[in-house]
Structure 1
Amino acid sequence: MTAVLSALRVRISTAVLAASVVLGTALLLWGADTLARWTVEGYVARQVQALTGVLEVPSVEVRGTFFLPQMLSGRYEHVEIGIEDLRSGPLRLERMTAELTGVHVAFRDLVGQNVVPLYIEESRERATLTFEDLNHYLDVTGRPVVVESAPDGEVLLTGAVEVFGQAISASSRIAVGTDDGSLSVRPTGLQTGTVLDGAGEALLRQRFTFLVPMDPLPFGQRIVAVAAGDTAFHVQAGGSGVVVAP
């Protein structure tokens, strides 16, 4: 009986030891995986800040259940980035979020914390361009028009422009669209108290039509959709084979 109890105790001790080893190994791997994820997220955030020149460090989240294999391979399947106050020249975007697929960061660059261009296989971006920021851009670039909300939920464009040497005040509902890497704005029904001939009307319509290059977008400037909100335009863009460099 004593021998049986002794053998049982040995088996229990062995099982407990094995379970402890497995649990300890799992905790070590989980800790190493989490630490590696934090390291890469911090590195990518600093990289994006250095490459885009934004004042605040972007938010970065690297997805994936098992992270160490991504780290060692230097390719991250899914990375989500958020940037506030993104600027290029006179144009400011209030906020941009991006979903990136296939972000390449060499392990040696990660270890050395080197600032190098980022290569991204695919990107999807969403950016907010407020009417206030757009009006600042139009003012700085010499376009005497203003974008504002209309009472019926549409967007109105007003201004006084020169037509054949005469200052003409006008307003119009607008249509927004895409033109390669730019947001396009065109009038849909100009209204003015001045009588104009056909050439004058055509020139007035031209004065109220403009493009806004989406140069601040860092992960691809191919605009795929634009929607107008109460106080801002919401822009969707994308890119493939994107290289982010200073």
Structure 2
Amino acid sequence: MRKLIVGLVFVLALALAADFGTAAYSEYRVSRALRDGGDLVSDPQVTIHGFPFLTQAADGRYGRVEIRAQDVPTDYVEKTTIEATLRGVRIPASDLLDGSVRTVPMDQLDARVRIDATDLGRFLEIPDLQVSTPPADRSDGTGGSGGSGETTAGAVVLTGTVPVGPLNTAVSVTAELRLDGGTVSIVASDLYFGPEGQADFTIPDFLKPAVLGLFTRTIDEQQLPFGISPTSVYAEGGQIVIEGSAEDVTIELDEIRTP
């Protein structure tokens, strides 16, 4: 009985190793195809979710695949992170394993571009820029912050050191994130003195328009992975996120970055 148990454990370990090894190799092949086709600076991270992998491969259908590529340059912001979540993916096992897969049909594709505060700061010429979401509005009608209400969609707090008259001073502003087609507009609307803010003084009214203008800019035509059209923009984790989705689509792996 002991030998039987040891034998079963050994077989199970081999099966697990084969499953994880095949999954890792398949992820590598897809990653290389994405890098070569998209002219990326490094191999993107590819994760094929679901266990066991070999069962999915035999069926040629995968529940969820995650793709993430960092330090992707653009014409407007120095670099971004691009992400894609593929659901209900259909790829023959032979094409996946030999690296010949190029066209991928799927049930749903969610695509995102993430702009880090550092790169957005370079674009705005505010090197120490910080991005945060304002506290939730109270939903019980009492006003104030920290209540149970949800933060307004598209609202963001931007903080950075900018010229205020003759001095360089830390300033926080509230801004709206607006999406028009593929164009993202950051529109500063007022000074901010809440818990995420750093400014502890009042800027004279006649200087406010100039200060707000330093935090206001348009990012032209941000293209999502595989040509998906943006449908929303919001702040998350110190980043600006531009997002879109499509259903029943077929993508070309070499078009993760489209002109």
TM-score of the superposed pair, with normalisation by structure 1: 0.61
Are the aligned partners of 1:219 and 1:238 in contact in 2 as well (CA < 8 Å)? no
Per-residue deviation, 1:237: 3.3
Are the aligned partners of 1:77 and 1:103 in contact in 2 as well (CA < 8 Å)? yes
Give CA deviations for 1:172-229 in whole Å, capped at 9, x if unaligned.
974212234442344647x989xxxxxxxxxxx9xx7745322153473333232277
Task: Look up the match of 1:7.
Answer: none
Work out which of the residue numbers 198, 212, 222 in structure 2 matches 1:214. 222
Are the aligned partners of 2:31 and 2:44 in contact in 1 as well (CA < 8 Å)? yes
Work out which of the residue numbers 99, 103, 110 in structure 1 matches 2:96. 110
Work out which of the residue numbers 18, 35, 40 in structure 2 matches 1:32. 18
SS in 1 for 2:41: coil
Structure exhibiting the larger radius of gyration computed from Cα positions: 1
Structure 1 segment 36-115 matched on structure 2, within 5 A: 36-114=22-100
Structure 1 segment 219-230 matched on structure 2, within 5 A: 220-227=228-235
2:241 is the counterpart of 1:234? yes
Structure 1: how far apart are the matches of 2:36 and 2:91? 15
Give CA deviations for 1:60-93 in whole Å, capped at 9, x if unaligned.
2222121101112222212222211123444444
After superposition, the Cα gap between the structure-2 partners of 1:228 and 1:36, relative to the gap in structure 1 and judged at 3 Å, is: closer
Structure 1 segment 136-215 matched on structure 2, within 5 A: 149=129, 154-155=157-158, 174-186=175-187, 188=189, 210=218, 212-215=220-223
Task: Look up the match of 1:244.
Answer: 252
Pick the structure with more helix per residue: 1
After superposition, the Cα gap between the structure-2 partners of 1:101 and 1:53, relative to the gap in structure 1 and judged at 3 Å, is: same
Q: What is the percent sequence identity of the aligned residues?
A: 17
Pick the structure with more strand per residue: 1
Q: Which amino acid aligns with 1:54?
A: L
Q: Which amino acid aligns with 2:225?
A: L
Are the aligned partners of 1:105 and 1:118 in contact in 2 as well (CA < 8 Å)? yes
Task: Look up the match of 1:5.
Answer: none
2:109 is the counterpart of 1:123? yes
| Contiguous gaps of at least 5 residues in structure 2 | 135-155, 163-172, 191-204, 208-212, 255-259
SS in 2 for 1:213: coil
Give CA deviations for 1:110-150 in whole Å, capped at 9, x if unaligned.
2332251333432334432246645777xxxxxxx867859
Give CA deviations for 1:4-50 in whole Å, capped at 9, x if unaligned.
xxxxxxxxxxx345434433332232122111111111112112212
SS in 2 for 1:43: helix
SS in 2 for 1:114: coil
SS in 1 for 2:109: strand
Q: CA RMSD in A?
A: 4.2
Are the aligned partners of 2:182 and 2:229 in contact in 1 as well (CA < 8 Å)? yes
Q: Which amino acid aligns with 2:220?
A: V
Work out which of the residue numbers 8, 17, 23 in structure 1 matches 2:9. 23
SS in 2 for 1:222: coil
Structure 2: how far apart are the matches of 1:103 and 1:147? 42
Structure 1: how far apart are the matches of 2:174 and 2:21? 53
